[in-house]
């Protein structure tokens, strides 16, 4: 061989080795998880040429997250931070003419031109400003701010707030229920709806003196209010239930004229919840989501159409057994688009409309992966949204809309591509099985990064909360499947009865049967996964869940010895204690058929399905995680569970967060959460395969 040939061969071998080395992927770590750029809230410009979107990053050392907004061409190219590199802004919204953008920064409302110039601060309110929504006429912006309802100006709000902060007595006094909600005590303030002109003039509290919140807490946003097509009216969601606030779900739709006069309720006849108005482009209708069953927060969200002239409502999609989660009209009124969950994926459906606004058959427009936060151009030809999956963090996608659906969907942002390319991330593998009563139940499995054919891996069964909810094929920001699998676990993810996306009958099947068929669904689903995926090791298994998932872990502890380790996060332990300490009583009264002092509810529910009654059977090592600011499932539930475990000398560990609520959100707290969870499961599932 010539020297030159030898050198060429050596170079080729070195290049091949370098390429192979570069292609070696590894399992995800917490540092990778926290480094993911959380892409959200895409907003397409009216002409369809530009996209605004938010990017949230995490500073683990500072223990905080920061959201920035970016502007990017729909056709591609480099994105730039909006309005400039030095400002962190959120909730960016295009004006109807596409020339200006409203946004929030520093807790106040601002406006700038599309290039980021001519910035103007519109508000300096004590209660801040959030949720900007432009009127279609471009002459007003709606937003919400926290106020004391008795105050008539912001000086009064400022004075009241200063007095409260200066008062050395921090006692909470209540005369009615729902005195605290999610993670906050009721301090007397309410979220009110305001309007303001883009030049900062005409500031007005549209719901002045209202005793209720707009939108209702704790999670309502700008989807809770909307301008009419001519900009002269606003519809909004509110709940004015008085002393029944804690056990009523009777949200209502209100309309108020901006030319003057009081607000009026347009959904008073329905005692279930009505929310999230969207005016039709022709101004004839208001679409909104509605639940017919009073007191049931997980009833099907039906899409309703309120005829503004006739002043009556009707269901638009009768016979469609899915939730109308979000919805919007085609600009030409020839269709209505509805986002809804179906079989562990959020999808976009299109329903054709006739001249009389009668809906046709559903068409799946965007159904691959998991899809949320849709935004459409003014002509209805272009759409953008956020898409993620089990193996892929969210990015912005876009597509052209035609009569047959979305054509040539394309990924517009690539903020996480580099990170993902270095990680061994497995996609969700779907399977269906026969659950309780031979009902068809859906789940999926995620392989560990170390997976190789012929080797068996320990199993972790994940149980979702709700109980009316669902595990989605998504990049979960808390219960991340990849991070759960990272130590070398096969993750079994099931959607038993109670799960959304499989029809309302399936959802209803969990209520007043918490330890019944849903438990059977889970055990049968685990058996089905073990039978189908032979690399799952049935001799090394754990289960983990939060909220209702934590309840079910607690129930499993008293009813099964098949698991080697359990993880209970924010789990219900004593149903009677839970009823007396939780805030939203409509939930427990529906799920357990009334208060515990009612005889039938006590015998059929509280004294039948409470995990604490079976604590004498506890033998499985259990990790207990809880937040002291959790008002949904009060932290004493976790304390009681831990006491029962340790009193019986069951291996267990309590991790209590004094600064967290129902969800563990702070970055450094999340690091500890994952360290504890992975460490606990590794300790008890890491024994050699049998």
**Residue 46 belongs to some domain of the structure:** no
Q: Which domain holds residue 269?
A: 225-315
Whether residue 13 has pLDDT greater than 70: no
* Number of domains composing the chain: 3
The H or E element spanning position 565 is: strand 565-569
Q: Are residues 245 and 187 in the same domain?
A: no
Residue 311: left if φ>0, alpha if ψ -120 to 50, beta else—which one? left
- Asked whether 479 and 498 are in contact (CB, 8 A), the reply is no
Which CATH number goes with the domain that contains 111?
A: 2.120.10.30
**Residue 653 belongs to some domain of the structure:** yes
User: End of a domain among 315, 332, 361?
Assistant: 315
Tokens of 54: 């938010």
**Residue 276 belongs to some domain of the structure:** yes
Write down the number of H helices and E strands in the chain: 13, 38
> Residue 530: which of 460, 439, 428 has the closest Cα?
460
Tokens 């909730």 belong to which residue?
91
Question: Residue 242 gets which letter from DSSP?
Answer: G
How far apart are alpha carbons 395 and 382 in whole angstroms?
A: 17
Q: Are residues 179 and 232 in the same domain?
A: no
Q: Are residues 528 and 674 in the same domain?
A: yes
Tokens of 367: 């159904």
Tokens of 430: 């779907």
pTM for the model: 0.95
Q: Quick check: bond before 218 cis, omega within 30?
A: yes
How far apart are alpha carbons 120 and 111 in whole angstroms?
A: 5
**Residue 3 belongs to some domain of the structure:** no
Cα 406 to chain centroid distance, Å, stands at: 25
Q: What is the pLDDT of residues 80-138, one digit of tens each?
A: 999 999 999 999 999 999 999 999 999 999 999 999 999 999 999 999 999 999 999 99
Which CATH number goes with the domain that contains 678?
A: 3.40.50.1820
Question: Residues 208-237: what's their mean pLDDT?
Answer: 97
Q: Are residues 246 and 182 in the same domain?
A: no
**Residue 537 belongs to some domain of the structure:** yes
Residue 688: pLDDT band (50, 70, 90) is low
How far apart are alpha carbons 453 and 176 in whole angstroms?
A: 60
> Residue 538: which of 459, 447, 453, 634 has the closest Cα?
459
Q: Are residues 143 and 248 in the same domain?
A: no
Q: Are residues 496 and 628 in the same domain?
A: yes
User: End of a domain among 273, 300, 315?
Assistant: 315
User: End of a domain among 296, 315, 334?
Assistant: 315
Q: Are residues 97 and 188 in the same domain?
A: yes
**Residue 538 belongs to some domain of the structure:** yes
Whether residue 625 has pLDDT greater than 70: yes
Q: What is the pLDDT of residues 664-675, one digit of tens each?
A: 999 999 999 999
Instruction: Give 673: exposed, middle or buried? Use CB within 10 Å, 0-12, 13-18, 19+.
Output: buried
Whether residue 17 has pLDDT greater than 70: no
How far apart are alpha carbons 598 and 593 in whole angstroms?
A: 9
Question: Residues 174-199: what's their mean pLDDT?
Answer: 97
Q: Are residues 200 and 229 in the same domain?
A: no
Question: Residues 486-508: what's their mean pLDDT?
Answer: 98
Q: Are residues 192 and 236 in the same domain?
A: no
Q: Are residues 263 and 182 in the same domain?
A: no
**Residue 340 belongs to some domain of the structure:** no
**Residue 648 belongs to some domain of the structure:** yes
Q: What is the pLDDT of residues 323-359, one digit of tens each?
A: 999 999 999 999 999 999 999 999 999 999 999 899 9
Tokens 């949320």 belong to which residue?
372
The beta strand positions in 60-96, using DSSP E, are 64-73, 80-82, 90-94
Q: How many CB atoms lie under 10 A from the CB of residue 74?
A: 19
Q: Are residues 616 and 511 in the same domain?
A: yes
Q: How many CB atoms lie under 10 A from the CB of residue 324?
A: 24
Within 8 A by CB and 6+ apart from 231, the residues are 135, 136, 137, 138, 139, 140, 258
- Asked whether 340 and 349 are in contact (CB, 8 A), the reply is yes
The beta strand positions in 629-688, using DSSP E, are 652-657
Q: Are residues 199 and 261 in the same domain?
A: no
Residue 74: pLDDT band (50, 70, 90) is very high
């Amino acid at each position: 061989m010539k020297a030159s040939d030898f050198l060429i061969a050596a170079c080729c071998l070195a290049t091949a080795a370098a390429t192979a080395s570069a292609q070696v992927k590894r399992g995800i770590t917490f540092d990778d998880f926290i480094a993911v750029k959380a892409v959200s809230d895409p907003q397409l410009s009216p002409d369809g040429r530009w996209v605004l979107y938010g990017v949230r990053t995490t500073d683990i050392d500072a223990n905080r997250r920061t959201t920035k907004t970016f502007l990017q061409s729909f056709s591609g190219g480099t994105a730039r931070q909006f309005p400039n590199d030095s400002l962190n802004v959120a909730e960016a919204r295009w004006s109807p003419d596409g020339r200006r953008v409203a946004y929030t920064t520093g807790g106040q409302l601002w406006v700038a031109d599309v290039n980021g110039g001519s910035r103007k601060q519109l508000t300096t309110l004590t209660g801040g400003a959030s949720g900007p929504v432009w009127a279609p006429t471009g002459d007003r912006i709606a937003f919400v701010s926290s106020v004391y309802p008795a105050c008539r100006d912001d000086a009064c709000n400022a004075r009241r707030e200063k007095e409260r902060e200066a008062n050395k007595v921090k006692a909470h006094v209540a005369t009615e229920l729902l005195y605290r909600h999610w993670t906050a005590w009721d301090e007397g303030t309410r979220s009110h709806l305001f309007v303001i002109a883009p030049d900062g003039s005409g500031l007005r509290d549209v719901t002045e003196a209202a005793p209720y919140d707009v939108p209702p807490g704790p999670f309502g946003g700008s989807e809770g209010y909307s301008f009419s097509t001519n900009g002269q009216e606003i519809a909004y969601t509110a709940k004015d239930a008085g002393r029944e606030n804690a056990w009523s779900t009777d949200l209502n739709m209100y309309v108020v004229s901006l030319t003057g006069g009081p607000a009026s309720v347009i959904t008073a006849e329905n005692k279930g919840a009505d929310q999230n108005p969207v005016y039709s482009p022709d101004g004839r209708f208001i679409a909104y989501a509605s639940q017919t069953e009073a007191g049931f927060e997980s009833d099907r969200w039906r899409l309703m159409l309120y005829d503004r002239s006739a002043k009556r409502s009707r269901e638009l999609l009768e016979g469609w057994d899915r939730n109308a989660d979000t919805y919007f009209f085609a600009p030409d009124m020839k269709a209505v688009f509805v986002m809804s969950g179906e079989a562990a994926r959020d999808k976009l459906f299109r329903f054709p409309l006739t001249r009389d606004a009668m809906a046709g058959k559903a068409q799946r427009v965007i159904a691959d992966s998991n899809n949320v936060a849709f935004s459409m151009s003014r002509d209805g030809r272009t759409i953008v949204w956020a898409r993620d999956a089990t193996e892929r963090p969210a990015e912005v996608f876009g597509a052209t809309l035609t009569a047959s659906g979305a054509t040539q969907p394309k990924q517009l942002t690539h903020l996480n591509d580099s990170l993902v390319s270095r990680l061994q991330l497995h996609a969700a593998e779907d399977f269906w099985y026969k659950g309780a009563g031979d009902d068809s139940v859906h789940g999926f499995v995620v392989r560990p990064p170390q997976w190789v054919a012929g080797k068996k891996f320990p199993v972790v069964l994940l149980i979702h909360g709700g109980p009316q909810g669902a595990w989605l094929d998504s990049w979960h920001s808390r219960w991340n499947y990849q991070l759960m699998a990272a130590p070398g676990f096969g993750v079994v993810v099931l959607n038993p009865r109670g799960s959304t996306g499989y029809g309302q009958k399936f959802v209803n099947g969990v209520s007043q049967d918490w330890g019944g068929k849903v438990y059977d669904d889970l055990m049968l689903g685990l058996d089905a996964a073990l039978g189908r995926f032979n690399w799952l090791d049935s001799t090394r298994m754990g289960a983990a869940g939060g909220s209702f998932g934590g309840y079910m872990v607690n129930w499993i502890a008293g009813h099964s010895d098949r698991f080697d380790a359990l993880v209970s996060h924010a789990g219900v332990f004593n149903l009677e204690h839970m009823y007396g300490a939780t805030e939203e009583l409509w939930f427990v009264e529906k799920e357990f058929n009334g208060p515990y002092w009612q005889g039938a509810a006590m015998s059929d529910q509280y004294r039948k399905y409470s995990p604490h009654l079976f604590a004498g059977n506890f033998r499985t090592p259990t990790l207990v995680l809880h937040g002291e600011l959790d008002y949904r499932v009060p932290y004493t539930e976790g304390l009681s569970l831990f006491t029962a475990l340790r009193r019986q000398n069951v291996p267990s560990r309590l991790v209590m967060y004094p600064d967290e609520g129902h969800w563990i959100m702070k970055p450094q707290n999340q690091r500890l959460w994952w360290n504890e969870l992975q460490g606990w499961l590794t300790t008890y599932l890491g024994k050699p395969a049998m």
